[in-house]
A = this chain, B = another copy of it.
Amino acid sequence: MNELIAQSIRRSVWHGWGDPSARRPLSDQGWEELVRQVGADRTVVNPPVPIEEVQLQPSRLDSPVLAALADVVGPDHVHADRPWRVEHAGGKSYPDLHRLRTGDGSQAPDAVVVPGSAAQVAEVLRLCAEHRVAVVPFGGGTSVVGGVGAGAEVSGPDGVSARGRHRAVITLDLRRLTRVVAVDPTSRLATLEAGLRGPEIEQALHPHGLTLGHYPQSHQEATFGGYVATRSAGQASTGYGRVDEIVLGARVVTPRGELVLGGRAPASAAGPRLLDLVVGSEGTLGVITEATVRVAPLPTVKRHAAWFFPTFDAATEALRTLVHSVGHGGMPDVCRLSDEDETRVNLTLAGAAGRRLLRYAALRGTAAPSLLVLVWEGTDGGEVRHRRAVAGRILSRCGGRRLPGEVARAWERTRFSGPYLRDELMDHRVLAETLETATTWDNLRSLHAAVTTAIRSALEVEGRRAIVMCHVSHVYAAGASLYYTFISTEAADPLAQWRSVKTAACDAIVGAGGTITHHHAVGTDHRAYLAAEIGPLGVGLLQAVKDQLDPAGILNPGKLIPDPPGSAPDSAPDRVRDRVRDAARAEA
């Protein structure tokens, strides 16, 4: 039952997602739909350039520094060769992949350093601060917000230049920090090193009858440290909790020394929870080397369910009623509700079975249904059945219509494979990207409408058409997340096209009162919008924290923390910058 979550894959290919041999190509019928819906052309072929053709600047790390780094981590663990530099030249966002596929290696570090212990991390940071070398912490490399690029120009023409302020940039790859420090079944806690990838965590915990329960779509590649550093949430976080809900402590190596936070108690009133400065710090404040998290019993029972609702609005209202009736703890572990567009697209692309479901809905008078997929997990069959039965009664009362559980099992079998499809689409000059937000229940519908419209309007220019679809993937007592996928044919300048959509979506999110990111983090792509969310005083606070821990500013420059208002323009759209400046003036 738990095989998939413990299944390791090899490290990701440099120009796309995961292990290309695991790709499941889109069916002919799927392609027909894409042709019909966005005018994709399967005969257009645009593969990535060979790795030899990726343009790299010469490494600017001089031999004495390289030698000093090698003294710390060992000569086998400092890499300035082409494959290592290219493999660390960005994350997995559309712009990151587009750049690499077209031979742009400007995001590559000058070298990749692979420390073997927290002590080595500390020594590397000391060396880098001394030699003005920037450091980009790197876990699984699956950032989709520009969080791990090392280059001069990240998300806009005037983006902060890491290279400009530093003599060189290294990427600090944490893959060797894979110790399982402690497993405490009594307190249901595990202390794990940062470099463990999702399946490796599960492999370590399953023999104890435990699971982390944290399965983002990047689960097979992403690392434990990355989860903590990005405030991650996984597909089952409605049940098992977001990483910020389950983390109890962390060790963080900073240029000023090691921060050891939490771990003594499940809760405390000993002042502000400094651990929450570390969770979500995205490598800008320190390098998380290990953390202590709550773990859960490995499920021995699973129940699946799927429901149709006449509209997305009716379905979100049903989810709200459900969480308010059963409480957060009584919710299904996985709770995933597609809007009308995503339901239609996914079921259409899913082949004959999917189309049968759509016809079934139409026969029952629902032209554009909204599909809800639920999974309950547990170790007590009676309790799991009870939770499912209670939910079933509530959803039924809210206008839901039950579908075969197989619909949910089908989702589960392919839960980690979605991103592979983007590589195939990019091979044919089709743009595909995702973004997400969250808000309170009272604001969910208007945010959903505003962001959908913004993305569609930005894509459907110059005669192009777009698929814009959305699902709720995380449900809380106070609200829910919204996760968008959009697909269209590439414009002449795909990066400019991507940026126009991203800007439109972010503006809509900020304007309609959502958070700029629910679980993808900030990176470079959302950086300019953070000020609209925490205010100029909040930005100043983050910067003060950074100055305290990283006075030389070597850690992941250009990520997370917006430039102060009035400094050189960054990639923020003017009106967001203006809004922040106005707020600063109003404050002064």
Contacts and interface: CB of A to CB of B under 8 A. Distances in A.
A540 B184 CA distance: 31
A264 B513 contact: yes
A530 interface: yes
A248 interface: yes
Interface string A536-556: 011011101101110000000
Contact of A515 (B188, B270, B481): B270
Contact of A476 (B259, B266, B438): B266
Interface in A512-551: 513-522, 526, 530, 533-535, 537-538, 540-542, 544-545, 547-549
A330 interface: yes
A224 B505 CA distance: 36
Contacts of A65: none
For A187, A478, A547, A560, which residue has the most chain B Cβ atoms within 10 angstroms?
A: A478
Given A188-B478, A261-B534, A273 B269 contact: no
Given A186-B441, A271-B560, A540-B548, 12 more contacts: A186-B440, A187-B440, A187-B441, A232-B269, A254-B537, A256-B540, A261-B538, A269-B517, A269-B521, A271-B521, A328-B329, A544-B545
17 contacts: A186-B441, A186-B442, A187-B441, A189-B478, A264-B438, A266-B440, A266-B476, A266-B477, A267-B476, A267-B481, A268-B438, A269-B517, A270-B516, A277-B277, A326-B383, A386-B386, A544-B547
Interface in A401-441: 437-441
B537 A256 contact: yes
Interface in A262-284: 264-274, 276-282
Interface in A154-211: 184, 186-189
A242 B267 contact: yes
Interface string A224-242: 0000001111000000001
Contacts of A259: 535, 537-538, 541
A270 B436 CA distance: 11
Nearest to A533: B270
Contacts of A261: 534-535, 538
Given A442-B186, A442-B187, A548-B540, A515 B477 contact: no
A390 to B, nearest CB: 8
A206 B477 CA distance: 19
A587 B326 CA distance: 48
A278 B270 contact: no
For A256, A257, A279, A542, which residue has the most chain B Cβ atoms within 10 angstroms?
A: A257
Given A257-B588, A541-B277, A548-B540, A439 B265 contact: yes
B386 A268 contact: no
A513 B320 CA distance: 40
A410 to B, nearest CB: 28
For A248, A327, A526, which residue has the most chain B Cβ atoms within 10 angstroms?
A: A327
A544 B548 contact: yes
A570 interface: no
A230 B549 CA distance: 26
A281 B545 CA distance: 16
Interface in A294-352: 294, 297, 320, 324-330
A534 B330 contact: no
A187 B520 CA distance: 23
Nearest to A538: B274
Interface residues of A, number: 95
A353 interface: no
A264 B535 contact: no
A386 B389 CA distance: 13
Given A535-B260, A538-B274, A268 B515 contact: yes
Contacts of A517: 268-270
A272 B280 contact: yes
A41 interface: no
Contacts of A476: 266-267
A272 B282 CA distance: 9
A518 B187 contact: no
For A230, A267, A514, A520, which residue has the most chain B Cβ atoms within 10 angstroms?
A: A267
A474 interface: yes
A104 interface: no
Nearest to A526: B270
A301 to B, nearest CB: 14
A429 B526 CA distance: 62
Nearest to A559: B271
A442 B439 CA distance: 38
Interface string A440-459: 11110000000000000000
B269 A230 contact: yes
